[in-house]
Chain A
Amino acid sequence: MTESNYDEIMMLLCDRLSSLTNSNVQITSETNLISQLSIDSIKLLNLIMEIEDTFDVSIPINALTDIQTVRELADLVHKIKSAS
């Protein structure tokens, strides 16, 4: 998987997160999903389903336990997509 795919993942995540949260927080790769965006667990689970469909991959929700920032989420999706 190439750099541009990674950027694509990052862009999609930032875009979806900002519409999910409607907050004024400027979303960057270091934004914390829970403490800064207050994403609740159900919204996060639904976002995962969307990402699965967009990139045609399976993302186990238990892999989310270690995820705090937008970058970590993008890394996870990128890793799974690259392996698929």
Chain B
Amino acid sequence: MNLLEKLDAAAAARKALLPDGVGAFGIPIEEVYSATEARIGDRRVLLLGTNNYLGLTFAPECIRAAHEAIDKEGTGTTGSRMANGSYFGHRALEREFADFYQCSSGIVFTTGYQANLGTISGLVGPGDTVLIDGDSHASIYDGCILSGADIIRFKHNDMVDMEKRLRRLGDRVETTLIIAEGIYSMLGDQAPLAEIVKLKNTYGGTLLIDEAHSLGVLGETGQGLVEKTGLLQEVDFITGTFSKSLCSIGGYCVSNHPQLEQLRYVSHPYIFTASPSPATIASTRAALELLRKGSHLRKQLWRNCTQLYAQLKEAGYTLGPDPGPVIAAMLDTPQQALLLWQNLLEHNIYVNLILPPAAPEGRSLVRCSVNAAHTKEQIQYVGDTFAKLHSLVCG
């Protein structure tokens, strides 16, 4: 098989899962009306497939800041910070992130994906070890592969399994980076951080937590799982993204280890890519301010999460273990998931369809992302529609 034939084979495998004309992946969105509504084809749909957790995509403060930055500094930086310099906004946002996490330093990356790539490959290298949760995001896997370190996985959120693997590492823990996530994007469950910290303190190692989905969502000021659990000081490095609750693009890493600064000189995903544009940085700074004082948004978000989780459970769906902004209905077969997804769209509800191998353990998921801007009525309608479709899909 030549290179192009291999792609044809992959396309055929995808087509076997999804019949022609079903554009479940990368669905065309024609117009966006608000944080909760858009047009798909000729339908006005409710958006439950975005990561807009605080509902800030149209926050006037962020839009104004982005406009002003474009007017003052132009549309792009046209190069990397190493070569072309760091704008005031890049440096300010890094200080603001460090301050937010009460850390001595912070680094901004161009995407959250690159934040993981850059941090992991900057911290570990060949001969070192990464011990990661088996359900880690692709950016974590790719960062580990880029680093050349030995990659050991533990079973998702299974602390007995993690301990076994830590113990086997013996003296190698000294050069081991342990990685977990605040909220896992597939089932919406949280890492057992207290137990992870306990194991780290018993065996050794350096701990990195990716707060991509928990930033703005967990903790009084929205720091994430580190704040909810009161374990901020026990975690060595925190990464996260601007692309979810902060509604722009970019990523960060913060730490109290002064060595973090060295990543600027060794980490290719930081060095060899253009820095975030002025408008991106400006809207992110405005959004971070809203996030920090957004406990009313978190309250509204959690009201919506709890309501939808309860409604789907009541309707008989099998869900992830923790209620939260990511609520995934687990279906037995890809066909059931597809049927549910299509029927929801016919009821003007857009959610995410996740089929094997993307979902853990060969499961098929219909995943909702709840946000603070959804109204009680919208959530009620989504819950009612799921309930109405249960017997059609699972019956």
Contact = CB atoms under 8 A, between A and B. Distances in A.
A56 B168 contact: yes
A1 interface: no
Contact of B165 (A40, A42, A52, A63): A52
A20 interface: no
Contact of B152 (A40, A56, A60): A60
Interface residues on B, range: 10 to 19
Name the interface size band of chain A. Answer: 10 to 19
B357 A41 contact: yes
B125 interface: no
A60 B151 contact: yes
Contacts of A45: 134, 153
B100 to A, nearest CB: 34
A57 B168 contact: yes
Contacts of B151: 60-62
Interface string B168-203: 110000000000000000000000000000000000
Nearest to B356: A42
A60 B128 CA distance: 11
A58 B168 contact: yes
Interface string A56-70: 111111110000000
A62 B161 CA distance: 20
A4 to B, nearest CB: 23
B153 A49 contact: yes
A54 B313 CA distance: 38
A61 to B, nearest CB: 5
A57 B161 CA distance: 13
Contacts, number: 37
A3 interface: no
A53 interface: yes
Interface of B is mostly: mixed
Contacts of B164: 53
A61 B357 contact: no
Interface string B273-286: 00000000000000
B153 A58 contact: no
Contacts of B362: 42
B155 A49 contact: yes
B203 to A, nearest CB: 13
Interface of A: 40-42, 45, 49, 52-53, 56-63
Return the 6 tightest CB-CB contacts between A and B, nearest first.
A60-B150, A61-B151, A58-B168, A62-B151, A60-B151, A42-B357
30 contacts: A40-B357, A41-B357, A42-B357, A42-B362, A45-B134, A45-B153, A49-B153, A49-B155, A49-B161, A52-B165, A52-B168, A53-B164, A56-B168, A57-B168, A58-B129, A58-B150, A58-B165, A58-B168, A58-B169, A60-B129, A60-B150, A61-B151, A61-B152, A61-B153, A62-B145, A62-B148, A62-B149, A62-B150, A62-B151, A63-B150
